Structures are given as structure tokens and as C-alpha cells.
Amino acid sequence: MSDVLLSIGHGYSARALAGRLVPAGWRVIGTTRSADKAAALAEDGVTPLIWPGRDLPLGAATHLLSSVGPGPDGDPVLRAAGAQIAQARHLRWIGYLSTTSVYGDHGGAWVDEDTPPDPATDRGRARLDAERAWARVAEAAGVPLHIFRLGGIYGPGRGPFAKLRAGRAQLIIKPGQVFSRIHVDDIAQALAASMRAPVPGGRVYNLCDDLPAPPQDVLAHAAQLLGIAPPEAVAFEDADLSPMGRSFYAENKRVRNHRMRRELGIALRHPDYRSGLASILEHDA
């Protein structure tokens, strides 16, 4: 059977992955809720599938990736198709995109995959519940589950440059705060490496770069690359943030990526935000 990826919720990271797989001869089936997005997927060489609304074509797939986050009632993919996935014993690999929010707040200290999850937000608790639900379904199917805990995702079309150019960026200062990030190209290469050599029994990987950094440093560097002055600094307490945006600052940790680099055998294309931002600017030029 040829390699076929069924990508549920085929969004930003999955599209970068498909950009690697399709030229290598894979068939990628990507689900979306929108006919307009379906047309865009077809332009990428992906077979689009508007879903939910029908059974997932699991029989055609060798690999399954879910990029769909949990909702108020749990994981929507498992709610709609969990029983079907639990019967898909022919699959070679199941991947689930999670987040580093499952670790909670560690006051800026380092965490790795052996750190017990202790989410500090409702969003993090929902992610951890979804990870555990996927583990139960994968175990029923007898298929190894690979969970990818992603840092803050950035890349072409998703970075600080647009906000800086529009004058909408905020240089927010919260002393001691750092975030871990990952460029979408490195997400794609990590997923592809895992799919090539699934670990029996499954595995958890942190996907992040080598340099956790304060958000104001990243924004100031982006402004320097654009040749403009950075915005005026504003204290976190005074910043104009949505409840979601403010919740990100409730957790402060540095996330290690040693397992990703050692076991998946990859060299990061963008080991820090300086490399990643320069690449985005070149892409956008």
C-alpha cells in the first residue's frame, strides 16, 4: 500500500508538512469545513475532503494526523469518529498536534517530556484531556500514537512583521517571562521524520527551537530587521490583550527539544527566532 496521510483539520502546520510529502510521492487527504479552503488545498496537490458530514476515508490511509484542538465538549474528532479510528488497525502511525501548555507554569525553569503535565489554564487542561483520549483510541486500534507538543508557531504569513508595519504591535514587558517557539518548517520536518520511523508504542515530542526568549526581544529584533523603531514598551498589566492573549502569560517555562533532535535525527532549519524571522522576511520580500 502506498503512503497516504489523512490529515484532519488540515491547517497551517499540516500544509507545511504536505509541502514535503506530496513532492516525495505521498498522497495527502486533507479535511476542511470550507469549500473555498478545499480549492486552496487542491492547488497544493492535496486531495480535499469537506468534513464532518461523511465517514472519514480511513481505509485509504496509512497515516493519520489530527491538528484539531479540543472544544468545550472535548476532542471533536474523537467525538465524531473515535469509534471508527479505534477500528483502524491497519494504520502505521497516528499523530496528534498538542501544545506545551500541558506543562503549566514553571517560573521560567526548563521542562522536558519527562516533566509531569500540570496545566495552569483551562486551555492546557483541555489539551491534556485530549492527549489522553487519543491515547486510549490509539491503544484500542493497536497503532502507535505520536504526540507533538508545540511551542508558539510562526512562519511565513504568521509573524510579527504585519503588526509592526500596521502600527498594531505591542512591546509587552513582563519581567522574567519567556516563551518557546517553533518555525513551521521545523514542525514539518519533525513530523515527516516521525512518520518515516514510528516508535512502537508511540512517543511524545516537544517541538520547539533552541532559544526560549522574552517576547519583547523577538519584537524588537523584528523591528530592527524592518529598519523601524520598535513600539513603545508597555507593562503587561496595561497591555491591550484579549483574554486568550493574556492567558498565555500565565505560564512561564523553557522547553527542551533534546528528544526531538536526538531521536528524530533532525537539524533545525531555524534554531532561534533570529534565523526564523530573517527567513520570513526573505519569503515575504
Alpha carbon distance 261, 89 (integer Å): 29
Alpha carbon distance 50, 259 (integer Å): 35
Residues 6+ apart with CB under 8 A from 196: none
Residues 278, 282, 283: CA angle, nearest 5 degrees: 115
**What's the confidence (pLDDT) of residue 2?**
87
Alpha carbon distance 27, 91 (integer Å): 15
Query: Which residues are 110's β-sheet partners?
Result: 254
Alpha carbon distance 151, 159 (integer Å): 14
**What's the confidence (pLDDT) of residue 1?**
58
**What's the confidence (pLDDT) of residue 249?**
94
- The phi, psi pair for 79, rounded to 5°, reads -65, -40
* CATH architecture assigned to 4-154+183-208+255-269: 3-Layer(aba) Sandwich (3.40)
SS3 10: coil
Alpha carbon distance 102, 164 (integer Å): 30
pLDDT in tens, the chain (285 residues): 589 999 999 999 999 999 999 999 999 999 999 888 999 999 999 999 999 988 899 999 999 999 999 999 999 999 999 999 999 999 999 999 999 999 999 999 999 999 999 998 999 999 999 999 999 999 999 999 999 999 999 999 898 998 899 889 999 999 999 999 999 999 999 999 999 999 999 999 999 999 999 999 999 999 999 999 999 999 999 999 998 889 889 999 999 999 999 999 999 999 999 999 999 998 875
Alpha carbon distance 69, 118 (integer Å): 18
**What's the confidence (pLDDT) of residue 179?**
97
Strands 254-255 and 110-111: parallel
Picking from 143, 11, 147, 137, the residue whose alpha carbon sits closest to that of residue 79 is 137
**What's the confidence (pLDDT) of residue 51?**
94
